[in-house]
Amino acid sequence: MRVFNKNMKIFGDTYMLWGLLGFGTSLAAIAVALFLAYYVNKYEEGTERMREIARAIQEGARAFLKVQNFYLMIFAVVMALVLAVFLGINVAIAYIVGALFSMIAGVIGMEVAVRANVRSTYSAFREGIRRAFLVAYLGGTVMGLMVVGTALAGITLFYAIFNDFQVLLGFSLGASSVALFTKAGGGIYTKTADIAADLVGKVELNLPEDDPRNPAVIADNVGDNVGDVAGMASDLYDSYVASIIAAMVIGFEMFANFGAPELYIYLPIIIAAGGIVATLIGLTWVKIHAHEDPGASLNRITLIAIIAYILILYVLVWWFNANWAVFYATVAGLIAGGIMGLTTDYYTSIDKPPVQKIAEASTTGTAINILLGFSYGTLSIVPGIIGVAVAMLIAWYISIHFGLYPIYGIAIAAIGMLGIVGTIVSADAYGPIADNAKGIAEQSRLGEEVIRILDRLDAAGNTTKAITKGFAIGAAALTVIALFAAYAEIVDIQLLVDAGSAVLVDPTKVLNLVDPNVVSGLLIGAMMPPVIAAMLILAVGRNTEVMIEDIRKQVRERPGILKGTEKPDYARCVSIAEKGALKELMLPGLIATIAPVVTGILLGVRALAAFLAGSIATGFIFALFMANSGGAWDNAKKYIEDGHFGGKGSDAHKAAVVGDTVGDPFKDTAGPTLNTMITVMSLMASTFAPLIALLALFP
């Protein structure tokens, strides 16, 4: 077992300045975020009707986050006590702060998002698409900058104060625990409301989307925010933190055992800071040119951030005289991320063959729609997996070529993918803001023109969301591979890179795949992601049934609701979604948290490493397939609604609606939770490694 907290200097003389600069950059990001929040909030909210709807969404979202964060804090305190007993008080403190920071980023980001939506609607009404886009995008940017700012601030602060990697891992675990529960809870909430609103509202009662007569409409809008904005922010927050800390752990290993310069411990912080600067540079390009599609603008911002990031990286590596493998590995990561984004786009875009074939198949019946959506989503994993494998191989062999410790190269490639996470989160949070803005416009009857504008903003958000989701899943995959390597370092598993000549090894120190414990660990780890996904989907199913019953009851008992003369009890639907989500997220969350520790104790530390490898493989596969199947079903429905194959109301449309509903918990509940879940499992393994090694039944 490595001991991290011995003989370390607090921010070694040479790099003190750079550590401080990293901290400074993170504060700058937070400052810009707060300014943008203030700026967006100054826009007008519009008519009384609009304000009323916006308030209902805000209240629902706040109420859910409040209750969820309350339970999360209880969980975090219990977990912190466990950590304090077994691993010391410092780790416990870091855990709590990591959890708190993640929650704060989510709360502030969501608070701005639920204010930006109505302001974007009103801007569309008053000034047209360009202002509406600006408000929606800057609202999303608050979230993006808060995520990277608080993350980097936390890492630099904790490292400066405690100077102990176990503490940093605790911080990362805190962030990931919150992300797991936020993702699972938000995912269950949002899809319960969405499916119930659709199944009863659209199918049984024939109401249009976002119709105010639908009792679940507010719950649905709230869900978009708690699931997509807050949940997704926690998700990328935790990948971001984990990727930086994994690289630092490996950098320390190089420093302590192989005599590498101390620089490599701090380089991840410096590179991350460079990414924040790149995000800020991209931000200066936020505007729509005349006659331009908002999607093109989103793509331009992202492209400029990527180019700026590569240039900054080049300068940083040159300035610090670091190993050039660092630069190439980062670029390899970025390219892999790009490939995954584009693949996601191909398999889920409304203009491409897969979606159109699914739409066409809907004319043959619901079953064929389901089968095709499932199959195309599954096929879509190929480029992503090969992309990540190639990025990993390039990072490894480039590192060996340039004489860098190869595992460090892989960790750096993960940071490469996550470097511009500020830009990604901004674009991702923009999506639900635009979606909500459209909903508010429909509910407050602002006329066709406004809805048409907001529809364009919403559609641009959907494509971006698909691309950034691919990027996020790829980044999470590389991050957990880096975490897997970090765990291997921590439990002292030998690398055996020096091929060719025989070396003396202790068999208990080799992660040998011809070992029954290792194979069992692999199988059990591989089993975890699909099982947790299934549990989450069942949770959505159960919760939806309850809400559907309630909607039917409301409509039946109070006929005025459908006539529009009586206001439905929105709050009851909000409360059903909320209570169900909080109840249902516990079991899968706990299983994911405890399984690595139990596996490690029962089968040994090497079996646990294989458990992580297995969970990465299937976690990656299921996350990709579920996200892309869901996206494809969604757009196949939209393609039919655009007038193809009989258009709205046709049998093909009905089939496509079922496909879309099946895809909902795939893409918005189970799929996104899996990323976070494998991160949490990897961090649990690393953080509890000393305890597991002590109690393990096998060597």
CB of 220 to a copy of itself, least distance (A): 16
**How many residues lie near a copy of itself (CB under 8 A)?**
95
CB of 622 to a copy of itself, least distance (A): 9
Which parts of 620-649 interact with a copy of itself (CB under 8 A)? 620-621, 625
Binding test (CB under 8 A) with a copy of itself, winner from 497, 594, 694, 697: 497
Binding test (CB under 8 A) with a copy of itself, winner from 101, 137, 376, 645: 376
- Is 11 or 625 the residue whose CB approaches a copy of itself more closely? 625
Measured distance CA(193)–CA(224) in Å, rounded? 9
Taking the CA of residue 637 as centre, how many other CA atoms within 13 Å lie in the half-sphere pointing to its CB? 20
Dihedral sign for Cα 93, 95, 99, 102, please.
positive
- Is 112 or 331 the residue whose CB approaches a copy of itself more closely? 331
Q: Would you tell me how many other CB atoms lie within 10 Å of the CB of residue 364?
A: 14
Amino acid at 212: P
- Is 472 or 488 the residue whose CB approaches a copy of itself more closely? 488
Amino acid at 176: S
Measured distance CA(89)–CA(83) in Å, rounded? 7
Kindly write out the interface string for residues 161-200 of this chain, putting x where it contacts a copy of itself by CB under 8 A and - elsewhere. ----------------------------------x---x-
**Residue 622 CB burial class (10 angstroms; 0-12, 13-18, ≥19):** buried
Residue 540 interacts with a copy of itself (CB under 8 A): yes or no:
yes
Q: In this chain, which stretch among 223-231, 540-548, 580-588, 687-695 interacts with a copy of itself, using CB under 8 A?
A: 540-548
**Residue 321 CB burial class (10 angstroms; 0-12, 13-18, ≥19):** exposed
Kindly write out the interface string for residues 353-372 of this chain, putting x where it contacts a copy of itself by CB under 8 A and - elsewhere. --------x--xxxxx-xxx
CB of 171 to a copy of itself, least distance (A): 25
Kindly write out the interface string for residues 202-221 of this chain, putting x where it contacts a copy of itself by CB under 8 A and - elsewhere. -x------------------
- Is 77 or 519 the residue whose CB approaches a copy of itself more closely? 519
Q: Which residues contact 395 (CB under 8 A, 6 or more apart)?
A: 325, 328, 329, 332, 333, 406, 409, 410, 412, 413
Asked if 667 contacts 198 with a C-beta cutoff of 8 angstroms, the reply is: no
Q: Would you tell me how many other CB atoms lie within 10 Å of the CB of residue 581?
A: 30
Residue 658 interacts with a copy of itself (CB under 8 A): yes or no:
yes
CA 74 to chain centre: 23
Which parts of 598-617 interact with a copy of itself (CB under 8 A)? 609-610, 613-614, 616-617
Q: At what angle do helices 13-41 and 89-127 cross, to 10 degrees?
A: 40
Which parts of 546-565 interact with a copy of itself (CB under 8 A)? 548
- Is 450 or 493 the residue whose CB approaches a copy of itself more closely? 493
> How many residues are there in the chain?
699
Greatest CA separation for the chain: 84
Asked if 101 contacts 150 with a C-beta cutoff of 8 angstroms, the reply is: yes
Which parts of 394-413 interact with a copy of itself (CB under 8 A)? 395-397, 406-407, 410
H or E, element range at 129: helix 129-162
Kindly write out the interface string for residues 437-476 of this chain, putting x where it contacts a copy of itself by CB under 8 A and - elsewhere. ----------------------------------------
Residue 490, token pair as written in the block: 């921590």
Which parts of 498-537 interact with a copy of itself (CB under 8 A)? 498-508, 510-520, 522-524, 526-527, 530-531, 533-535, 537
Binding test (CB under 8 A) with a copy of itself, winner from 177, 225, 618, 676: 618
Q: Where are the beta strands (DSSP E) in 180-237?
A: none
**Residue 246 CB burial class (10 angstroms; 0-12, 13-18, ≥19):** buried
Binding test (CB under 8 A) with a copy of itself, winner from 3, 382, 594, 695: 382
Residue 540, token pair as written in the block: 């959505």
Measured distance CA(336)–CA(447) in Å, rounded? 43
Measured distance CA(411)–CA(269) in Å, rounded? 13
Measured distance CA(240)–CA(155) in Å, rounded? 11
Residue 325 interacts with a copy of itself (CB under 8 A): yes or no:
no
CB of 58 to a copy of itself, least distance (A): 30
- Is 527 or 586 the residue whose CB approaches a copy of itself more closely? 527
Residue 645, token pair as written in the block: 């194959």
- Is 372 or 440 the residue whose CB approaches a copy of itself more closely? 372
Q: Please give the DSSP secondary-structure letter assigned to residue 288.
A: P
Measured distance CA(441)–CA(50) in Å, rounded? 8
Residue 493 interacts with a copy of itself (CB under 8 A): yes or no:
yes
- Is 41 or 494 the residue whose CB approaches a copy of itself more closely? 494
Kindly write out the interface string for residues 74-113 of this chain, putting x where it contacts a copy of itself by CB under 8 A and - elsewhere. ----------------------------------------
Binding test (CB under 8 A) with a copy of itself, winner from 307, 393, 590, 694: 393
Binding test (CB under 8 A) with a copy of itself, winner from 139, 261, 568, 665: 665
CB of 587 to a copy of itself, least distance (A): 12
Measured distance CA(647)–CA(668) in Å, rounded? 25
- Is 293 or 492 the residue whose CB approaches a copy of itself more closely? 492
Q: In this chain, which stretch among 28-36, 67-75, 262-270, 657-665 interacts with a copy of itself, using CB under 8 A?
A: 657-665
CB of 10 to a copy of itself, least distance (A): 31
- Is 161 or 503 the residue whose CB approaches a copy of itself more closely? 503
Which backbone phi and psi does 640 adopt, to 5 degrees? -65, -40
- Is 422 or 580 the residue whose CB approaches a copy of itself more closely? 580
Give the three-class secondary structure for 18.
Answer: helix
CB of 435 to a copy of itself, least distance (A): 21
Find, among 299, 308, 302, 337, the residue nearest to 416 by Cα: 337
Binding test (CB under 8 A) with a copy of itself, winner from 389, 590, 695, 697: 389
H or E, element range at 648: none
